[in-house]
Amino acid sequence: MKTIGVFDSGVGGLSVLKALLLEMPQARYVYLADGAHAPYGERNPQHIAERAHRITQGLRSSFGIDALVVACNTATALAIEGLRVEHPEWPIVGVEPALKPAAALTRTGHVGVMATRGTIESERLARLRQRLEAGTDKPLHFSLQACDGLADAIERDDRGAINELSRRYWDALVAQTPGDVPIDTLVLGCTHYLFAADVLQTLAGPAVTLVETGAPVARRTRAVLGLDAASGGAVLGSPQVSLLSTGDPAPLAKAATRWLGLDVPGRHFPC
């Protein structure tokens, strides 16, 4: 049985874990939330890179994992290239805002992207955006919005703050509309944001398609491990999941129960 390590700054990566469970219910999972250092979005890039390297080494040495999923857009943008250099023989799958799928889906050519400041300001995202905008013969424009505080509000399950911040940042995106071309596709560029998708969809309206990255990441992870596709949906609550946190594990376990139906105790993992 393959063991897959998954890490995020907090609970947002549970959205990716859910997709992994559905894609590969036959695998074993070790999920680590870096709760003592969450959220990553507004932290110093060097600090995030150092955390990613330390967590990766800790998961690999303690659990013998066969592959790592960096279930955090910010950590992927700022650290995954260094992780792959440090562990060249080992599969590492990252997440990044789904600009390419969004570019294929958009009808108006105007795509909104909501992400953390660390992701929005990263060179990795800038390169991806430039490549896509330059590589198409149809009009394509990405409007980017840094959503300071939204991941933290989701981490705390503060519904009032989630509603307020979601409205603020959606309005800011709409204000960037070039001419009269409306946004018809919205990229959720942080794994936390899937847990605010209901609020964002209400704000954006039914004509706007929300795009996230969990399912493509799960398919990519299965491919690099050479596993067969699942014949049926996973039973969430599987005992093959371990939940770890560098901070208080209780919020992680509570979030896993609330959002995934997992009944798994969390435990502290110093790293």
What's the pLDDT tens digit per position in 15-52?
999 999 999 998 999 999 999 998 887 789 999 999 99
Domains of the chain: which residue ranges? 3-95+215-268, 99-212
pLDDT of residue 234: 47
Indicate which residue of 190, 200, 252, 253 is catalytic.
190
Tell me if the domain spanning 3-95+215-268 has CATH number 3.40.50.1860.
Answer: yes
On average, the pLDDT of the chain sits at 92
pLDDT of residue 237: 46
- β-strand pairing of 266-268 with 241-245: parallel
Indicate which residue of 72, 79, 140, 203 is catalytic.
72
Residue 147 is a catalytic residue: no
CATH code that applies to domain 99-212: 3.40.50.1860
Say whether pLDDT at 104 is over 50: yes
**pLDDT tens digit sequence for 134-189:** 887 788 999 999 999 999 999 889 999 999 999 999 999 999 877 788 999 999 99
Q: Against a cut of 0.95, is the pTM above it?
A: no
Q: In CATH terms, are 3-95+215-268 and 99-212 the same topology?
A: yes
Residue 190 is a catalytic residue: yes
